[in-house]
Chains A and B, each alone.
Chain A
Amino acid sequence: MMIESKVHSRNLVQWAKEKAEVLVLSADLTSSTECDLFRDTYPDRFVSMGIAEQNMLSFAGGLAREGFIPFIHTFAVFIYRRAYDQIAMSVSYPNLPVKMFGFLPGITTPGGVTHQAIEDISVMRSLPNMTILDCGDATDVESVLDVAYNTDGPVYIRMLRGEIPRLFDKDEPMQLGANRTLSKGSDLVVLSCGICTEEAMRAISVLQKKGLSLQHIHVSTLKPFHSEDIMDAIQDSKYGVITMENHSITGGLGTILAEEMAKAGMAKKLYKTGIKSYTHGASKPYLMKEYQIDAMSLIEQIEKITNNSFGIQEEDLEKVYIAPVHSNSKAEAL
């Protein structure tokens, strides 16, 4: 698996080259959200807003009404938690093209509960007009710009930074409403999004060697949710579906799927894996284990669901790359 560094930083500069209407707004987290190279390359299109997110979101609404496309860059929590009313009334109600890049989704930061966005999908998806995208790898991080740009109205993006894996072919960009089928099988459907997809891929590659037949689907468009292929796979499965997300089990991928299954009258079991409480500050691998959204936890769950015991050990999994907390690819240890 290839690991790449500062993908967004380089890509944003290249991508925005000919797009004069795209302005980047930052709330004092310019390096931490990888828009520093953009600032240095196009200083005239970079708008420094200070630590004042409520104003930043309403201000962005004003810019969008005048034909600009603001790209908000800050940590996710400071978008949807700090400025929810402003998003609802200054951005989402008027259906304005403000693209919100929320960094540090879920437990991807040791910054603790104040910095960990664990209910952003839940909160944002109840807003009419809102589109929600979740990135799982470097290809998603690159191609999400086109998807957000070409989608009418406001878009909220769960963004990745620093050292991230490339799981999907560069030539297969993210597309609005298109899920990625990563493996086919009929025992159980595994539905994952964001950083959980990498974990699920590791678990599934081992489980398949043990003889399980698993359908793995990666979701990057959480709203509007396109479920046709997913529902077909669940219908054809023996044991149902398990969702895995770096987000609260309330209101995220698992809930979205539950609504779809109920609507379709689908008589299959749904198992939800995700964050079940508030979180705290520690390393990403530690937290993924603690909150049971890592590959080993998924294997244990699937063993339980399918009545198996394969005796798989941590070292049987493909070596996962663990990014060091302090590295040149991040502005601070956060």
Chain B
Amino acid sequence: MKKMDWINEVKKIAHGIRKRTLEHTIKNGGGYLSQACSSAEILATLYSKVMNLAPISNPIKPKLFPGIPGTENKNYFTGAEFHGPRGKEYDRFFLSPAQYALVVYSALIETGRMSEDGLDYFNKDGYSVEMIGAEHSPGMEVMTGSLGQGISQAAGIAFARKRKKETGRTIIFLSDGELQIGQTWEAIQTMVHHKLDNILIYIDVNGYQCDGKMTSVMNVEPIEKRFEAFGARTFRISGHDIEMLAKPGEISPDGRPIVIICDTDPTRDMDILGSRAPKFHYVRFTSDEEKKKYIEKLKNM
């Protein structure tokens, strides 16, 4: 694909992610909208440019919750099937903040991996498309809702795959709030110590968390210096710059895990969100008037 072609394709997917998430937020009376605004380009670039995933023939329809894993449960599945069949050469994707599930679901639909009606099953009793994704949810394969655990599990998988001489990489999507967690840094030091250069970590640094602005809740800056000090191969870029987002996917491994710190705007292409600052974590409409503004916005997208 020519350069402008793939960039336009990513743009289209990113737009679709925002639009779909907004549409769902209106229909549902609430949603993780700012996460879609900040991470749309990151996820669109990962799914359509960076990650080497096996193709799937037809978009998959979400299934019913299969029950919990266990010796007795023979029908168990994870949401990894949305990323296509496994293979030594294929990448694996791990969404560390499972609270972004809605955004990943939108990305799966936009990239033809989940059926168009996928979001109709979001948070629907008895279905696998859970609000905070679990390992049976589309696009997920480990338990990451308890923040900090996803990155360690992915590190274990990357270690194991390297040992098995698999060439596929481990791609982790991380949120900046998770940089407050001790386990995240335990995982980073482990990746560096064991030279896991088959890992790429994309961090959505939108600067906000549940309680508000991160610098007021618990500052984690300067993020790039922290990662550099840990020995990671660190890049800090604009998280809305598609070309820059794609580049780290093409560099050769050098013994260090790759960390891409993506500065993002939680109101990107959704200016009306700005009035909610600094509370972006979950959008719930406070009045019909406010809801109308968002309906109006959707019409113009």
- What is A's interface to B at a CB cutoff of 8 Å? 47-50, 52, 54-55, 57-68, 85-86, 89-90, 93-95, 128-129, 152-153
Q: Is the CB of B71 within 8 A of A61?
A: no
Residue from B69, B152, B186 in contact with A95 in the complex, judged by beta carbons closer than 8 Å? B69
Most buried by B among A62, A64, A66: A62
Residues of B near A67 (CB, < 8 A) are: 160, 164
Shortest CB distance A131–B (Å) = 10
Q: Is the CB of A62 within 8 A of B148?
A: no
Chain A residue nearest in CB terms to B160: A66
| Complex: A128 Cα to B70 Cα, angstroms | 9
Chain B residue nearest in CB terms to A65: B157
- What is B's interface to A at a CB cutoff of 8 Å? 68-71, 135, 141-143, 145-146, 148-149, 152-161, 163-164, 182-183, 186-187, 189-190, 193-194
Interface residues of chain B: helix, strand, loop or mixed (majority) = helix
Q: Is the CB of A63 within 8 A of B143?
A: no
Shortest CB distance A255–B (Å) = 24
Residues of A near B68 (CB, < 8 A) are: 93, 128
Q: Is the CB of A62 within 8 A of B156?
A: yes
Residues of B near A153 (CB, < 8 A) are: 70-71
Residues of B near A95 (CB, < 8 A) are: 69-71
Q: Is the CB of A59 within 8 A of B70?
A: no
Q: Is the CB of A59 within 8 A of B69?
A: no
Q: Is the CB of A60 within 8 A of B156?
A: yes
Residues of B near A152 (CB, < 8 A) are: 71
Residues of A near B157 (CB, < 8 A) are: 62-63, 65-66
A-B pair count, CB < 8 Å, reads 104
| Complex: A323 Cα to B158 Cα, angstroms | 43
| Complex: A153 Cα to B189 Cα, angstroms | 28
Residue from B142, B146, B154, B156 in contact with A94 in the complex, judged by beta carbons closer than 8 Å? B142
The 8 closest A-B pairs by CB, nearest first: A62-B156, A58-B152, A66-B160, A55-B186, A52-B186, A59-B156, A62-B157, A62-B153
Residues of A near B154 (CB, < 8 A) are: 62
24 contacts between A and B (CB under 8 A): A49-B190, A52-B186, A52-B189, A54-B183, A55-B186, A55-B187, A57-B152, A58-B152, A58-B156, A58-B183, A59-B190, A61-B156, A62-B154, A63-B157, A65-B157, A67-B160, A85-B146, A85-B149, A90-B142, A90-B153, A93-B69, A94-B142, A95-B69, A95-B70
Shortest CB distance B18–A (Å) = 30
Residues of A near B187 (CB, < 8 A) are: 55, 58-59
| Complex: A59 Cα to B193 Cα, angstroms | 14
Residues of A near B190 (CB, < 8 A) are: 49-50, 52, 55, 59
Residues of B near A55 (CB, < 8 A) are: 152, 155, 183, 186-187, 190
Residues of A near B163 (CB, < 8 A) are: 68
Q: Is the CB of B143 within 8 A of A59?
A: no
Residues of A near B71 (CB, < 8 A) are: 95, 129, 152-153
A63 and B186 in contact (CB under 8 A), knowing A50-B193, A58-B153, A86-B152?
Answer: no
| Complex: A128 Cα to B73 Cα, angstroms | 13
Shortest CB distance A44–B (Å) = 9
Residues of B near A49 (CB, < 8 A) are: 190
Chain A residue nearest in CB terms to B194: A47
Residues of B near A54 (CB, < 8 A) are: 148, 152, 182-183, 186
Residue from B135, B146, B159, B189 in contact with A62 in the complex, judged by beta carbons closer than 8 Å? B159
Shortest CB distance B295–A (Å) = 38
Chain A residue nearest in CB terms to B181: A54
Residue from B152, B160, B193 in contact with A68 in the complex, judged by beta carbons closer than 8 Å? B160
Q: Is the CB of B159 within 8 A of A63?
A: yes
| Complex: A147 Cα to B153 Cα, angstroms | 26
Q: Is the CB of A62 within 8 A of B69?
A: no
Most buried by A among B68, B149, B190: B149
Residues of B near A65 (CB, < 8 A) are: 141-142, 153, 156-157, 160
Other A-B pairs, 9, CB within 8 Å; known A50-B193, A62-B154, A65-B153: A50-B186, A54-B148, A55-B155, A55-B190, A58-B153, A59-B155, A68-B160, A94-B69, A95-B70
Q: Is the CB of B156 within 8 A of A89?
A: no
A62 and B160 in contact (CB under 8 A), knowing A50-B190, A93-B68, A152-B71?
Answer: yes
| Complex: A63 Cα to B152 Cα, angstroms | 10
Q: Is the CB of B189 within 8 A of A90?
A: no
Q: Is the CB of A93 within 8 A of B189?
A: no
Chain A residue nearest in CB terms to B155: A59
A90 and B143 in contact (CB under 8 A), knowing A55-B187, A85-B149?
Answer: yes
Q: Is the CB of A59 within 8 A of B189?
A: no
Chain A residue nearest in CB terms to B161: A66
Q: Is the CB of B183 within 8 A of A94?
A: no
Chain B residue nearest in CB terms to A49: B190
| Complex: A267 Cα to B161 Cα, angstroms | 56
A63 and B149 in contact (CB under 8 A), knowing A93-B69, A94-B69?
Answer: no
Chain B residue nearest in CB terms to A88: B146
Residues of A near B148 (CB, < 8 A) are: 54
Residues of A near B194 (CB, < 8 A) are: 47
| Complex: A52 Cα to B164 Cα, angstroms | 25
Q: Is the CB of B143 within 8 A of A89?
A: yes
| Complex: A173 Cα to B128 Cα, angstroms | 44
Residue from B143, B152, B159, B186 in contact with A93 in the complex, judged by beta carbons closer than 8 Å? B143
Chain A residue nearest in CB terms to B94: A62
Chain A residue nearest in CB terms to B157: A62
